[in-house]
Structure 1
Amino acid sequence: MNFQENYLSNVIFEFHRYKTMGDKTFAQLTDDDILWTYSDTDNSIAIIVKHMVGNMLSRWTNFLTEDGEKPWRNREMEFEAPYTTKNEMLDAWEKGWKCLFDALKKMKTLNFDAKIKIRKEEHTLVEAVNRQLAHYASHVGQLVFIGKMIKGTQWKSLSIPKGASETFNKKMFGEDKI
């Protein structure tokens, strides 16, 4: 496998990993939960998802041929009027990720020297994709953290639960590796 194939395979894997973390967070939440904020100046889960979806649709629509900041995007509106139901939010979430994964599928045979523009700033393909991966990872981390705050002791861990590292390592490596 050459660098380009390896990179795209890994990036697709990582984007799926972050989408799955969001999915598993949302599975634990109610309609009311997605609107919760710690304070009046904070963003709810519904607002963060609205922003992510707006970004995804803007960045990944015609990724290789148009600037990633589309004239039809209204970023400021992404932080107002959140989705009011979990189903509405999930439909938008899926639409954003579909746009992203469809764009990534098209890149498999493309020239990695292509210049990708975001707000008129040129990026290599790798730089543009890494920029989005980092952006979404930070927001998914916010979604998970807010979900944990909302659920408290009822939160179901998305990774190795606190206090369970030794048990996990024994399962993964066997008794003789611990």
Structure 2
Amino acid sequence: MIENEHLSLSSAQFHHFKERAEKGLAQLSDEELYWRLNEASNSIAMIMKHISGNMHSHWKDFLSSDGEKAFRDRDMEFVITDQDTKKVLMNRWESGWTLLFDTLESLNEDDLQKVVALRKQPMSVLQAIQTEIAHISYHTGQILFLGKQMKDHDWTVLSIPKNGSEAFNRKVKMENEQKNTK
């Protein structure tokens, strides 16, 4: 069914975002996680704190309670305190992703038509998943953009490098030809 395919593709997309963000995070020093361009900007640590807070709020008791939980203090997600060590951030990050993936795994095709709420606004489960894909994509893109700006030429590109499309396409073509000859 298309519903099961959607759940599978959504999960794969979330795994991709997490993997990309973590490959970017691995290139940064602890100090770089907290760097901000200016007072109006967010650090990578703030973005991680925000994504984690979002996932803990939205995916806990997903089908049975509003996605904006009373325990969430969204404004504090954009404030770094002494308690926001890299270890704490990474633990919260990981537990947020685990909650998201466990919830997605628990859903079935019939659940996609159910109605959930986010800030008291009703939406289908399908819409809630799509909203989260867009939200997390946006913020993981910010993490990678900031990392690339800080590292400049020391950044390891996580997609096709500039002027690398032709070589990438040749590689993919060769891999496909090898698969087809087996």
Provide TM-score, normalisation by structure 1.
Answer: 0.93
Which stretch has the larger CA shift, 103-112 or 6-15?
103-112
1:1-178 equivalent positions in 2, closer than 5 A: 2-81=1-80, 84-108=84-108, 110-174=110-174
Question: 1:41: Cα distance to partner?
Answer: 1.3
CA distance in 2, matches of 1:18, 1:141: 9
Count residues with an aligned counterpart.
174
What is the RMSD of the two structures over their aligned residues, measured on CA atoms?
1.5
Aligned residues of 1:116 and 1:125 also touching (Cα < 8 A) = yes
1:74 maps to a residue whose letter is D
Question: 1:110: Cα distance to partner?
Answer: 4.1
Unaligned runs of 5+ in 2: 175-182
1:78 maps to a residue whose letter is E
| Alpha carbons of structure 1 residues 69 and 84: separation in structure 2 relative to 1, 3 Å | closer
Which stretch has the larger CA shift, 65-74 or 110-119?
110-119
Percent identity between the two aligned chains: 39
Unaligned runs of 5+ in 1: none
